[in-house]
Amino acid sequence: MPESRRSAQPAALWAPRAWLDDGWHDAVLLSIGDDGRWTEIAPGVRSPPEGAAVLDGPVLPGLVDAHSHAFQRAFAGLAEQREAATDDFWSWRDRMYEVASRVTPAELRAIAAHLYVELLRGGYTHVCEFHYLHHDSDGRSYADPLEMAWAIADGAGEAGIGLTLLPVLYERAGFALPELRVDQRRFATTAQSVHAAQHQIAAARRPLLNAGLAIHSLRAASPASIASLASLARDLDGPLHIHVAEQMSEVNECVAATGVRPIQWLVREGLLDARWQLVHATHSLPSEIEAVASRSAGVVLCPSTEGNLGDGLADLSGWLASGASMSIGSDSQVTRNWPEELRWLDYGQRLALHKRNVAAAPEFNTPSTAQRLFSLTVRSGAAAAGEAKWGLSPGARADALVVDTHDPALVGIPPSRLLDAIVFASAERPFRDCVVGGRFVMRDHVHPEAGAIAARFETAMHALWNQG
């Protein structure tokens, strides 16, 4: 967001109610340091002190969107017709590559900025960008090899959202296909190139920008390259993400190539630690879940994308019982708000198990499905984003959402059931204000740059889809 349009950072916020680490508290004063992080969280402050910004509604922490492919926003809603006998993840992927092959840096910036405004409106204040669209359309490197990465970072800056850029190791088309396909030529990287990119992104020290690493998948990177990247990243204090076990065909091919399933391979090679985030892990065994949790690694579930692509259902009960870190992601951008992701995370289980409130845990004094899922994803977002802390807690970045209790779906809801209603009553615009790094980026549902950003996105869409 241009500096001239940024709101001044208040010294403190005062909320009539706020969701802290242990649930709701009344009359909460949230003090902000010059570095844009919370310095003190004080409940029970009945009168707002002079200089504090008084918030017009209950306050929630912003959530981390732990898995995003920004360019796929240009494809959302455009793969919902079938002309062949069947349609699945792999046929969707081939069509998605058509967009990936054409988008320019300027178009990517426009797409990312528009998406990120939507994510802010949907309650995300930070996004982890799984970035593998590196090169020109002919596969050649740009003069600045990070031109596409900076396009994403510039889009995030326009929107005012926090960003973790994850340059992706991507070098082959499959376990038995050592070269990339022609339509994957923009993705080509090595362990050395993505490690260098991570260092360069971190060295830029842009506001609200973190840098980590990613491996596309075991099918897209050789064991030698994965070992090389793990060695180069020994001192990495940021996250390391990987797609894993999203499709059963991937699992079967991994077994054929390595003798073990994908998660088992990661465990066998001794790679997992608290930095690792396993994206999807849809097809996992109880023993694999236990192994991931015991190594303090996390999982990132993307329910709307996994449903849209027909991936299958993750073992939500298994992950919850394991105590593993669990985040959510918007992934292919068919859904761009966390309440819907949490809703479908539980709805999928309800449909499969013929039960309700699967994620609720009254035995742990958490009878609310929404509260259990929300609390876990708030806590887990820190590791996924490369932040030491997250939420309304001293030391965490000063991100917050002000709930609009005048939304028709939330009118008259008892305060103790507000989070339940945000997730399961399908509020259309639940968040009226959004704070990132101590500054308001949205007030009264208005993002100051949204109009100009949407116009550039529309231009990019016309160019990509050859509209008149």
How far apart are alpha carbons 26 and 78 in whole angstroms? 45
CB 167 within 8 A of CB 197: yes
Over the Cα atoms of the chain, what is R_g? 21
Residue 452 CB partners (closer than 8 Å, separation 6+) = none
For the purposes of burial, counting CB atoms within 10 Å of the CB of 270, is it exposed (0-12), middle (13-18) or buried (19 or more)? exposed
Closest CA to 279 of 122, 384, 367, 402: 384
Catalytic residue among 280, 346, 404, 407: 280
How far apart are alpha carbons 92 and 87 in whole angstroms? 7
For the purposes of burial, counting CB atoms within 10 Å of the CB of 416, is it exposed (0-12), middle (13-18) or buried (19 or more)? exposed
Nearest-5° Cα angle at 255, 254 to 261: 80
Active site residue 21: no
Helix (H) or strand (E) holding 26: strand 23-32
β-pairing, 12-20 with 23-32? Answer: antiparallel
Active site residue 331: yes
How far apart are alpha carbons 306 and 418 in whole angstroms? 27
Catalytic residue among 154, 315, 331, 420: 331
Catalytic residues: 280, 331
